[in-house]
Structure 1
């Protein structure tokens, strides 16, 4: 069987043989002023032998024909790579390497549909190490195609072209391994900077959880903390450094250490935010963070807090009502020059509060307010101890091991009122 290639476009004139007796016929120049008669495209095909073209390619190429994909041709590069092949045999016998790469079904699809099919990064073993190829299957038309202007005939064969991509695959593998090592180091650093055990002050139960993003997401700078203060008071902290990777985790560690130091000064929350803002600018003027710093005082049953651009805290009252902190936030840490304010909430016995980072409520296809509304609805039914509340919130918000962002949640719960005491919503 003779294989030929069709050239698209208008026909060319055929120049006569040269005086030297050159047997080859080449296309002659056009004569726009005096157009000659049209030539049958089949005559043009004879000028271009597909075997001659494919034999010059450095990439492995094979041509099969018929529904059994009988081998009609394999170029030199193909034979040098895989060894001699017997023409006329079905591809399942003549080209076992294609079966090993799962290419035979693609050849069937290309022959039936008349459209090219391809696969990427298919591995071939036993060639001096693993080698990878992108393989394309291109349907070939019949030599008996109708003349120009008519519908083409159905495919009678398939051209298989393999492009080696071993270097690219190995480079991508090395890159993934390197990213995996960096991610593991960042996760280790992140976890080491978070408190290993939370303080449990009298009358207040506290639990927290941290869930790093999935393998495709770099570790961020989420953190939380619980700090015991004098007079039975307790500081509750949640924060999120913008950015990803080791740098964000390192900045988070510095800010967390600073919060613990400033907390010992017994300053109001808004003054702690002001000090953190200046420190954040000194650490890295191009990297900002959000933070909520709250102080629980059991004597007057108040929660005094300040927020630097962070998401609103949520409170579930003993009767199931969920309140959202809507007070004005100060600017994020690291922006400089902003004014931070302290706000006071009076909490009732049995109240459960939740502080969280944006990874819990932010989704690419939704407004973040929708996520906060969903979290509030979930919190209304998430009864139980703070550790149970944390688990239920993560599960209800769809946070899993392959989540695309870090998540930190800090839940706290006041001791319940004695039996027979009626309590209503928190006073804000």
Structure 2
């Protein structure tokens, strides 16, 4: 049969296979086998032909340990004796570090182990009879930095060989076993993992730096200073391992000599929280110009927060200081209580009913009025100042109240002292915003506290 005939038959067979897969293709009958052509049928498998299992005791006859170690792509070295003399280094080890002389102590034959801080591990393995390891040790100058996890495993004497006569007896304790006669040093390269982790950390640092920059740019660069009220504020971002949140503060001058004081905290971290914070702060400044009572401002902010992000909530306190009657009218949307230090050092905590946080919808907010004596100092703050993972928040509030009771001086001094006393540093696990205000002393004192309430 010619090669052209074979090619045509093969093409026809392929066409039949593909046409059978096409929708609507007509089925073609299978070709018939001529009567004289032989048909081959596979014979049944003979179970007796299956090879039996190998006795584990014969494994040493199949594999040579030195040959196995030589074929490993990872660097391997074997030491022996109290000075850890080099007994063997496989091909991968020699290719990585160069040729090594057997029989010399490790401090001479394996200087790279000293540079990697592995030599002390060899002594620990011999003494403890247990493996030791170090992670991500860097080897310099080998086509760039390369990182290895290095394990040291005891060899010989670390495990007793059980004889048939002693199988029923308990194993000897670790201290009773013979000391190992050598150590196997095994290195596994983890350069890719270390570099990937480094890239992730760098990306996180860049994202955090962008969030901090955005956060600070959205905060007021300079606070308004009313003639009849001294004000100071501070913002401390969380440490390197803490994502930046959405804390903010603001001071807004209103008509009639009044001043609005604002503190807020958007739940969540990162760029999203900072962006939501910026929108809420801008909205507060716009609503403040409408000369609305604080509880109505909270209601408007609640609706806006739901429009911005239905899954993002925030807490906020909005207060208006009116110097003519000496009153502070404020409303709180789920925020921490206002603290006031009276001229005599007594610290009062706002215990009035709070409204729900912003973004929850359908809640009722209230306005409360406090009449302040001249010389009173007040503090608005976010939860990062008083909240700790291992403590109840009431403990933080009590500590803040005690600290405020002894904090004397201008609002800038009060802010700095509160941060220091509450343990807020550059490595704090949450960002913190504090707004302090002080009513200057006056000649005619008035009653300190006269609480009234206006409801929506």
On whether the aligned pair clears a TM of 0.5, the verdict is yes
The superposition leaves residues 328-356 of structure 1 with CA deviations (integer Å, 9 ceiling, x where unpaired) of: 11111111111111011111110000000
The answer to whether 1:79 aligns with 2:94 is: yes
What is the deviation of 1:145?
A: 4.9
1:356 counterpart (381, 385, 401): 381
- 1:96-115 alignment, distance < 5 Å: 96-115=111-130
What is the deviation of 1:138?
A: 1.1
Instruction: Assess if the C-alpha contact under 8 Å between 1:318 and 1:424 holds in 2.
Output: no
Partner of 1:269: 294
Alpha-carbon distance between aligned partners in 2 of 1:354 and 1:271, rounded to the nearest angstrom:
23
The answer to whether 1:256 aligns with 2:271 is: no
Q: Which moved more, 1:156-165 or 1:254-263?
A: 156-165
Residues 203/156 of structure 1: CA separation in 2 closer, same or farther (3 Å cut): same
Q: TM-score, length-normalised on structure 2?
A: 0.82
What is the deviation of 1:147?
A: 3.8
Residue 104 of structure 2 aligns to a residue whose secondary structure is coil
Partner of 2:321: 296
Residue 158 of structure 1 aligns to a residue whose secondary structure is strand
Q: TM-score, length-normalised on structure 1?
A: 0.87
The superposition leaves residues 281-312 of structure 1 with CA deviations (integer Å, 9 ceiling, x where unpaired) of: 11111111100000011111111110001000
Partner of 2:194: 169
Q: Which moved more, 1:351-360 or 1:63-72?
A: 63-72
Partner of 1:90: 105
1:330 counterpart (314, 338, 355): 355
Residue 342 of structure 1 aligns to a residue whose secondary structure is strand
Root mean square deviation, CA, Å: 2.0
Instruction: Assess if the C-alpha contact under 8 Å between 2:372 and 2:447 holds in 1.
Output: no
Alpha-carbon distance between aligned partners in 1 of 2:187 and 2:409, rounded to the nearest angstrom:
60
Alpha-carbon distance between aligned partners in 1 of 2:158 and 2:261, rounded to the nearest angstrom:
80
Alpha-carbon distance between aligned partners in 2 of 1:45 and 1:320, rounded to the nearest angstrom:
85
Unaligned runs of 5+ in 2: 1-52, 452-456
Alpha-carbon distance between aligned partners in 1 of 2:215 and 2:431, rounded to the nearest angstrom:
11
2:422 counterpart (386, 397, 401): 397
1:341 counterpart (343, 360, 366): 366
What is the deviation of 1:67?
A: 1.7
Partner of 1:125: 140
Unaligned runs of 5+ in 1: 1-25, 30-40
Partner of 2:85: 70
- 1:16-31 alignment, distance < 5 Å: 27-28=54-55
Alpha-carbon distance between aligned partners in 1 of 2:159 and 2:314, rounded to the nearest angstrom:
71
Instruction: Assess if the C-alpha contact under 8 Å between 2:313 and 2:359 holds in 1.
Output: yes
Alpha-carbon distance between aligned partners in 1 of 2:90 and 2:160, rounded to the nearest angstrom:
25
Alpha-carbon distance between aligned partners in 2 of 1:333 and 1:145, rounded to the nearest angstrom:
69
Alpha-carbon distance between aligned partners in 2 of 1:387 and 1:298, rounded to the nearest angstrom:
21
